[in-house]
Structure 1
């Protein structure tokens, strides 16, 4: 597998990227990781899309403020508009004139916002476990929290009311939530360590909040659903049956985007690329091949 990694300069710092080259002469797939403040590390399971005679190039990058990228340190720059501009600059620096884009979780927030600027050369879009309305997300989490043990619910409510979301008991309650709705399989110690080391909780807290289900950051009012009908590229929506990006909301978002497709992974929560990796890659690869034909 032919891999390349390095840095490209953007206005606010240096962006780390990784490119896995495939044999086929097809448009590459650019991957937008979750977060905010996450990294592309766990999504590198998509490397296998580059395998074989029909493999396509897969390109990843760590968004500024986290992962292996350097900068910015100014919290005022941790906002959606700047990340949209950063994405455009990354595409330009890496020569991704024609490209498919896959966003996961917060990456779908970034992807939808970018597409609504009407960029040229985007051949298709994949919204994996989408977050396209923060208010709707918050309501979904309220419903999911009610499925947890009463003791866990009480701990979460009390810690959020008291402002003790840094406490050990709150972290343990978050783990219960995560086991149900984020990832239902055991993650290796190596991946847990790497993900933790590469993540930046300061970015996450600034833009989102103290947890998946407590939205207090500058994305709190984000809602692009009134404009989703303006997305014109072939689109695929993905989520897990037990996803915190619920099947109901994912289906709703898909219904607004003209001609979009929907796939639900029956054994997954918010990490189908981890929980059902072979099916995830198969669905993504099939959609990309169809999208190539559709836009010729």
Structure 2
């Protein structure tokens, strides 16, 4: 998910939501199992939180949340769609997030270590090439791609949601396409704030919460954002988020660890069935994401015409049928 770290205070203030436990996400539509999984890291052992909903021997979807440092609750509405289709899914808080351990050592916040974490989670949950679908959105989409580059032999299917394969291309799209959709004086003021690295200036959020977030992050007024998304906002780990992504809404802040990430040339090495999902109003370029679906060896593109960065919430009528069809097509061998 893009940088809404400073939007948290605004959202929480508008909604007045409480920082409730994510255990309040109860589907009531299938077997549920919470498991704390031990993770070995260069800095010792930590535990990460997972919660399985349903039980299907051939269709198991592990969900990688965005951020970095967000939480599994960005997928809170999955229990309204997947259980009734017989598809098992696993909510998962990455190390540093929500109900998982939150060490303060920034050396842990690397792509390589997160990939290793996902592999350890896979083994602990008994996921393999006969049942394992990996779905990641935004940062989770980056992590999903990186996992596939190293371990695609373990995957049955890969789903990349709302994530481009180059952060430089993302920045170009944000500044050359999305920014100019704002009134010229508004975009000029935002760019001046970014140029001066004045991200604590309240004007930055004042402008973005009117001219950017309701158009490209979640296409509904702040007061109508879903309860689980508001809860997620109260649990974001800014230490992880800022170290890896930075503060900017129109690119990666110079010095952040994800700066320069670009895997366009590596996409052709992904040969497992792959679904790439984009929204017409996304913070990410939907044309680039459609291009990605043609670069992988066995891809499909799903466009959510009413969707933005959280298409599962603002365009569920396209997002979920497309996702479910992909999973079932791969499972039946008809993809």
Q: TM-score, normalised by structure 1?
A: 0.93
Q: Which residue of structure 1 lines up, in the alignment, with residue 202 of structure 2? A: 168
Partners of 1:295 and 1:110 in 2: CA distance: 27
Q: Does 1:236 align with 2:275?
A: yes
C-alpha contact 2:59 2:327 (8 A) present in aligned 1: no
User: 136, 144, 147: which is aligned to 1:111?
Assistant: 144
Residue in structure 1 matched with residue 212 of structure 2 by the alignment: 177
Q: How many residues align?
A: 294
1:213 to 232, 247, 250: 250
Question: Which residue of 2 is the match for residue 80 of structure 1?
Answer: 111
**RMSD over aligned Cα atoms:** 1.8
CA 1:161–1:212 in 2, change beyond 3 Å: closer, same or farther? closer
C-alpha distance in structure 1 between counterparts of 2:207 and 2:110, whole Å: 28
SS of corresponding position for 2:99: coil
* 1:79-228 equivalent positions in 2, closer than 5 A: 79-97=110-128, 98-143=131-176, 144-175=178-209, 176-186=211-221, 187-188=224-225, 190-216=227-253, 217-228=256-267
Q: Give the 3 Å change call, closer, same or farther, for CA 278–25 of structure 1 in structure 2.
A: farther
What is residue 70 of structure 1 aligned with on the other side?
A: 101
1:214 CA displacement: 3.1
Q: CA deviation at 1:174?
A: 2.6
- Offset at 1:104? 0.5
Q: Runs of 5+ in structure 2 lacking a partner?
A: 1-28
Stretch moving more, 73-82 or 158-167: 158-167
3-state DSSP of counterpart to 2:234: helix
Matches of residues 1-16 of structure 1 in structure 2 within 5 Å? 1=29, 2-12=31-41, 13-16=46-49
Following superposition, the deviation at residue 14 of structure 1 comes to: 1.1
Q: State the distance in 2 between where 1:16 and 1:152 align.
A: 41
Q: Distance in 2 between matches of 1:251 and 1:192?
A: 27
Distance in 1 between the 2:142 and 2:109 partners?
A: 14
Structure 1: which 4+ aligned runs deviate by more than 4 Å? none
Give the Cα–Cα distance (whole angstroms) in 2 for the partners of residues 212 and 9 of structure 1.
Answer: 34
SS in 2 for 1:139: helix
TM norm structure 2: 0.83
